[in-house]
Amino acid sequence: MEVSVSILKSNNPNDVTLKLVEETTASSIHIDLMDGDYVSEKNDDLGEVVNLFQNCRKPLEIHLMMRKNLSYAIDYLAILKPRVIFIPLDIPNLHEYIRQIKDYNIKVGLAIHPDTSISDIKDYLSDISLVLLMTVYPGRGGQKFLESSVERLKLLRDLVGSNMLVGVDGGINVETVDKVRGYVDFVISGSYICMAQDYQVQIDNLL
C-alpha cells in the first residue's frame, strides 16, 4: 500500500510543508484544487500551483474538484507532468475530460463523491487507471472519516476487481487506515501527517 500526502491542511506554509513531505518516504504528493462551484471552497490559482510544485522531486497527483474551467485547468496543469489527474465522477461531459487528460499521456482517475452511487463508474472503467473513493465530503481538510465508506469500498473493490488501482481520501489516520487496508492500493492522508511534528513517523504509522 502506498501513502500519498495532501498538503491542503498544514500547520506550516505550503512551501515549508512541501519541503518536509519531500524528505519522507511518501509515494507522492496530492494536490487538491477547488473551484468554489463543485465544492464551496476555492483555491484554484493555477499559476501559484505551478510555481509551488514545478520543481517537486516526488511524483505529483492532482485532484480537480471542479466543474468550472475544468478543461482549462487540465491544459494548464499538464505542464507539471503529474502521474495522475483525478476528476469527479458526477460531472457532465466526463468522457471529454477523460480523453483530454489521456491526450497528455497522463493517467486518469475518477473520484467518487460520498453521495454518488458506486455503480455509476461502470461505464468508464475501460478508460481510466485509478478510482478514488472519497471517505469525507470533499472540500475541507481535517474531516472525520465516514464509517459508511467501508461498505462502499467493499462494493467498489468487488466491482472493479484486482486489476484496477483503488484508493481512499479523507479522514485517514492510524485508526481508520486499518478499516480500509484490505481493499486499497493507496491512501491519501493530509492533516494526520501535515499537522504533526514528524511527518515520517505518521507515514510509518499508516503502513
In CATH, what number is assigned to the domain containing residue 121?
3.20.20.70
168-191 pLDDT, tens digit per residue, is: 999 999 999 999 999 999 999 999
pLDDT value for 122: 95
- What parts of the chain have a pLDDT lower than 50? none
> Do residues 163 and 197 touch, judged by C-beta distance below 8 A?
no
pLDDT value for 68: 86
pLDDT value for 200: 98
98-108 pLDDT, tens digit per residue, is: 999 999 999 99
Amino acid identity for residue 42 in this structure: K
**Domain count within the chain:** 1
Show the DSSP H helices in the chain as ranges: 14-22, 46-53, 70-77, 94-103, 149-160, 177-180, 191-194, 199-206
pLDDT value for 141: 63
> Do residues 95 and 132 touch, judged by C-beta distance below 8 A?
no
C-alpha cell at 150: 467501508
Host domain of residue 22: 2-206
Instruction: State whether the Cα torsion 153-182-60-148 is positive or negative.
Output: positive
pLDDT value for 142: 66
